[in-house]
Amino acid sequence: DISSFYSALSIRKVFRPQNADGKQSRIADYFASNVFDLRAMVKRLSAQDLETMTKVMKYGGKIDASLAERVASAAREWAMEKGATHYCHWFQPQTGATAEKHDAFLWFDKQGNPIERFTGPELLQSEPDASSFPSGGIRSTFEARGYTGWDPSSPMFIMETENGKTLYIPSVFISYHGEALDFKTPLLRSNGSLSVEATKTLHLIGEKKVTHVTTSVGPEQEFFIIDKKHAMKRLDLHLSGRTVFGRKPSKGQELEDHYFGHIPSRVQSFFNELEVELYKLGVPVKTRHNEVAPGQFEIAPIYEGSNIAADHNQLALKCIKSVALKNGFVALLHEKPFAGVNGSGKHVNWSMSDSLGRNLLDPGATPHENLVFLTFLCGILQGINDNADVLRASIASAGNDHRLGANEAPPAIISAFLGNTLDKILNAIESGSADKVNAEKIMIDLGVSHVQEVAKDNTDRNRTSPFAFTGNKFEFRAVGSSAPINYPTAILNAAVHDGLTKINKKLEEKAVNGVVSDNDLLLILREVIIQTKKIRFEGNGYSQEWRDEAAQRGLSNYSKTPDALMVLADKEKTKFLKNAGVFNTEDILSRLAIQQERYIKQCLIEVNCAIEMAQTLVLPVCIEFHSKLMKNAKLSSEISCSSPSKKMAERFGDDISHVWSTLEALKIQVEKITSGDALDHHHLEKTSKIISEVLMLKLEDLRSAVDTVEAFVPNDLWPYPKYSDMIFGI
């Protein structure tokens, strides 16, 4: 409704933090002010403790009990100075959300006086009752012991709300036997093994000074915001995160006038508040802009170590939601809240750096440096080529199914885009002489000794590739907007670990005194380039030609989650995850079960919302309007006055009947699926497939029937906000 759109423009005034003199503070003054980082530790820990902490925060590692005791005490003092009363282990069970259980610092001394206390063991470990978290059958309820353990590589922080402050301790969540129950543990494990394998590669090609390799991530986060008053009237948005009904408005995104447009002032005030909150938490958000669809926006941080980036992305998601509410909005993090306009994704920009501070995906200035770059590029290609199906599974979700392959997001076919220059270079290496090479000369001939060549090519972006090289990083574009990024990043790390392991084996065979000559290296890379050619694609990923060609090349194309997930049951294909120490067999099978279950439940929630809305809102309103039409038709026939009422009543009656019959068909199908033991563990595969192949199509039938009647019912009678209200009403 257009009038309330204008009247709703009351803007919450948010001031940036101010100094004592009343002037606005610089971001640098309050950045990370709520983070117990090295700057905060300096004042409270000895030089030696600080050194250990610095190392652990950078490369991971163990912390002994006595250091934990000192860190706990320092963290408590710092947190209490800032007004915190509680602490909590903050972890990421496989629900997609974060979890926390708060404990007060309260204790009693020997005399029984109340004191504040926070001990080393309390910092190191906690035991929440884990029986209500998804475990995919790993544990039965009676042995549901889960442990959260401090992850010292991600700094503690204070979360402020209007009602108090709590010290948050980033934590892993594992079972009694050490199985990972969360999304963070796999990432930490994959980072550890990738570091070992990549360092080995570097040593074998003569880079002996390197001691560690780390991964960096910068996630670009897309989301929608809509006015709270509209969101509150939509049961589907409220419960399932997406609209199951809604007729496409007369205007969508076709004029392309929203993308990078002026940020509406209400949204600007939301961004201001969001940024201040995130800055205090040490999240380095840098970019904000309007996205393609009306009502859609993006924020992106400066990239960081992948584990911290993943935690920070979770904080960003949390703050986007809470700050939106404070500003009269509801933020929609779902991958496809609205049909007919673009959905939301998360481009996970990913790179590897060594302990000397070099980005290994940055083409260098000399032929040898470029060989280092090409070695890692080949390791990545090998990893993606050999493990594409599991990478696809790592981004599978009910929400992402609406987005992947919908001509707005990458297809579900995993391929890699390198850009014209790099593609040419790899092709030239491939077609070069196989037996006799002069690596230095070839490098110079190929023109790769000029960094700028590849960097310049970075401008030639291919938006349709799920995995694109963009100058000095890869961009994993198929990740869903609501997904925790540590999981797909862990799988990607493990895939690259696998690629590098295979290359290292070949390098070791050729090594003399532990080092491979540039010429031999180039020959090995040539083999990899030939082997992985099928995964490289430079063209339009949205086109039917690509789907056909991909099928010819033998690439998989799992468009729906239930099919995509089944690779996790294939021991041969998931072997690389075990080799990288990320999961054991039981872990993998439990993840399969958890994801199947999530898919089933998510779809059933959507379907049940649709049924409820159709039954309690759409049909009653339609029937009421229809009876008006019929009365009117009767009246006009009595006075023999020509009127469209009769024709409208006939046509509309048919349309309502169609809503009724599609609704009945949907209900019968739901009944079939949920009765009996369809949701039993043994039937998850079958049930999830019936849902994607039958139930979701019946939901689409109902949607199309409901969207048809929406066009006939007068606006003031229609029972919930329309698309035009929501996506343009901010």
Chain Cα centroid distance, residue 314: 9
Q: Give the CA angle between residues 221, 222, 225 to the nearest 5°.
A: 125
* Cα separation, 382 vs 531, whole angstroms: 8
Binding partner of residue 351 among ligand ADP, Mg ion, none, CB cut-off 5 to 8 Å per kind:
ligand ADP
Q: Give the CA angle between residues 533, 536, 540 to the nearest 5°.
A: 145
CB-neighbour burial class of residue 481 (10 A; exposed 0-12, middle 13-18, buried 19+): buried
Q: Give the CA angle between residues 683, 685, 686 to the nearest 5°.
A: 65
Nearest approach in angstroms of CB 218 to Mg ion is 9
Q: Which of 42, 106, 302, 697 binds ligand ADP (CB under 6 A)?
A: 302
- Residue 222 interacting with ligand ADP (CB under 6 A): no
Number of residues that bind ligand ADP (CB under 6 A): 14
Nearest approach in angstroms of CB 538 to Mg ion is 18
Q: Which of 136, 301, 484, 499 binds ligand ADP (CB under 6 A)?
A: 301
Q: Which of 152, 218, 484, 541 binds ligand ADP (CB under 6 A)?
A: 218
Closer Cβ to ligand ADP, 114 or 357, answer by number = 357
E strands, 92-145, are: 99-104, 106-108, 114-116, 125-126
Closer Cβ to ligand ADP, 154 or 353, answer by number = 353
- Residue 300 interacting with ligand ADP (CB under 6 A): yes
Count Cα atoms within 13 angstroms, Cβ side, for 204.
22
Nearest approach in angstroms of CB 527 to Mg ion is 32
- Residue 216 interacting with ligand ADP (CB under 6 A): yes
625: left (phi over 0), alpha (psi -120 to 50) or beta: alpha
Count Cα atoms within 13 angstroms, Cβ side, for 417.
25
Q: Which of 98, 221, 349, 421 binds ligand ADP (CB under 6 A)?
A: 349
* Cα separation, 518 vs 526, whole angstroms: 12
Nearest approach in angstroms of CB 374 to ligand ADP is 17
- Residue 351 interacting with ligand ADP (CB under 6 A): yes
Binding partner of residue 218 among ligand ADP, Mg ion, none, CB cut-off 5 to 8 Å per kind:
ligand ADP
* Cα separation, 523 vs 442, whole angstroms: 12
Q: Which of 220, 457, 655, 710 binds ligand ADP (CB under 6 A)?
A: 220
Residue sitting closest to ligand ADP (CB): 218
- Residue 303 interacting with ligand ADP (CB under 6 A): yes
| H and E: helices and strands count for the chain | 27, 18
- Residue 643 interacting with ligand ADP (CB under 6 A): no
Closer Cβ to Mg ion, 192 or 219, answer by number = 219
Please report, as ranges, the residues that interact with Mg ion according to CB under 5 A.
347
Give the tokens for residue 316. Answer: 């960003």
- If DSSP codes are grouped into helix, strand and coil, which group holds residue 409? coil
Closer Cβ to Mg ion, 151 or 362, answer by number = 362
Give the tokens for residue 684. Answer: 């998850």
- Residue 122 interacting with ligand ADP (CB under 6 A): no
Binding partner of residue 302 among Mg ion, ligand ADP, none, CB cut-off 5 to 8 Å per kind:
ligand ADP
Binding partner of residue 487 among ligand ADP, Mg ion, none, CB cut-off 5 to 8 Å per kind:
none
E strands, 618-658, are: none
* Cα separation, 238 vs 664, whole angstroms: 24
- Residue 486 interacting with ligand ADP (CB under 6 A): no
- Footprint of ligand ADP (CB under 6 A): 216-218, 220, 300-303, 349-351, 359, 472-473
